[in-house]
Amino acid sequence: MIASDTHQRPPHVYGEILSLNVSEENEPPGFVRFLSQGTAVGAMLAFPTPVMGLLLNSPYYGPLFLAALPSCLAVGVGFGVIEAIIIWACTYVAARQLNVAFRAGIGIAVLAVLIVIVDFIYSQPSYNRDVSRTEYLVHIGIYVVCGAIFGLVIGSRFHPLDELARGTSPPRWPVVTAITGFVLRFAVILFLMYSILMVVWMARGNASRTEFTFAGITLGHLVAAAVILFARMPFWLLLLLALIINFPVAVLITDVLKEDVAVRYVSLVYLHLWAAFLLCRISVPQAAPSFIKKRISLLPDR
C-alpha cells in the first residue's frame, strides 16, 4: 500500500492557477493607459510634419514651422485620443485584449475615416493642384503605416505615463518624485523636438558656424539627457552623469548668457528642475548607516 502525501495539493488546483495566469495575460490595460498610449503615439507621429515642412520649403519660413510645433502636436494628440477611445471601446466589448493584427486594422480604418473627415472640412477644391499617382500612393502608404503604429502601441503593455512619472525603487516620496520626474522628462522631450527643428532650419539656412555649433551642442546635450532620464541606473551613476552633462549649461549661464535674459531664465529653470529631480532620488548606501551604528555600539560607556 502506497502512502499518500497529505501535503500534495489536488490536481484541479493547478488548473485553477493556470487559468488565473491566462486570464491575467488576456486582461486588457486600463482606460488611462489607452489614453496615454494614444497621446504619446499621436505626438510622436505629428512631430515629423514640421520637420518635413522645414526640409521642403524655403528657410525663410523656418520661424513659422517652429511656432507651429505646439499646434501640430495638439492635432496629433487629438487623433491619438480618438484612436485610443475607439480601440478601448472595441477591447471593452470583446472583454479581452485584442490581437495585434486586429488592433492595427482598427487603427488604419479609424485614421482613414479621420483623414476623410478633415479633408472634407478643410479642403479647398478650387486651389487643389493635380496629384500624381506616385504622390497619392506615398500618402496612402504613410497613412497606413501611421494607423498600424497606432494599433500596435495602443492596447499594448507599454505605459508612457509610468515611464514619464517613474520614481525610485523602493518608492520614496512617491507624489513629489512622480511630479519632478514627469515635468523634467516632458521638458527634455519638448526641448529636444525644438532643438531638432533648430538644427534642421540652420542646416538649410545661412546660419553662422557659431550658431550652428551651439545648436548642435544643445541637441547633443538633450539627447544625452533623454537617455539618462529614461534609463534605469543607480543613483551614484545618475548623479555623476547629470553633473557632467549639466556643467556646460551652468558655464553657459555664468559666462555666455549675460545679455540674453530669456534664454538665461529658461536655462536657470531647467537646472532647477534637474536639482529637484536629483534631490527626490537621493539615496544613501545601506552599508553606511549600519557601519555607523556598529561603531557607536562598540564605544565604551561613560
- Residues 209, 216: Cα–Cα separation, whole Å: 10
pLDDT in tens, 192-246: 999 999 999 988 877 778 888 888 889 999 999 999 999 988 888 999 999 999 9
The C-alpha cell at 168 is 525610485
Placement of cell 508612457 in the chain:
160
Residue 75 has pLDDT above 80, yes or no: yes
> Of 124-133, 209-218, 248-257, which one has max mean pLDDT?
209-218
CA angle (65, 66, 70) in 5-degree steps: 95
pLDDT at 4 over 50: no
pLDDT on residue 266: 85
Domains of the chain, by residue range, sit at 25-125+132-163, 174-282
Query: Where would I find the beta strands (DSSP E) of 46-181?
Result: none
Sign, CA torsion 142/143/147/150: positive
188 Ramachandran zone, left/alpha/beta (phi>0; psi -120 to 50): alpha
pLDDT above 80 for 3: no
The tens digit of pLDDT for each residue in 130-180 reads 667 787 788 889 999 999 999 999 988 888 988 888 877 777 778 889 999
Is residue 170 reached through a cis peptide bond, with omega within 30 degrees of 0 on the bond before it? yes
Q: Look at residues 163, 181, 164 and name the one whose alpha carbon lies nearest to residue 172.
A: 181
The C-alpha cell at 254 is 555664468
Q: How far apart are CA 211 and CA 204, in angstroms?
A: 13
Q: What is the pTM of this model?
A: 0.79
Please state, as a whole number, how many other Cβ atoms lie within 10 Å of the Cβ of residue 65: 21
Which has more confidence, 125 or 267?
267
- Its sign, for the CA torsion 247, 251, 257, 261, is positive
Mean of pLDDT over the chain: 81
Which residue would you say has higher pLDDT here, 214 or 186?
A: 186
Higher pLDDT pick, 188 / 119: 188
CA atoms within 13 A on the CB side of 136: 5
**Distance (Å, rounded) from C-alpha 102 to C-alpha 195?**
37
Residue 176 in grid coordinates:
513629489
Residue 3 carries which side chain, given as an amino acid letter?
Answer: A
Q: What is the model's pLDDT at position 289? A: 47
pLDDT at 189: 95
Confidence of residue 18 (pLDDT cuts 50, 70, 90): very low
Nearest to 86 by CA among 68, 106, 104: 106
Cα separation of the two ends of the chain = 71
| Residue 262 CA neighbour count, 13 Å, CB half | 0
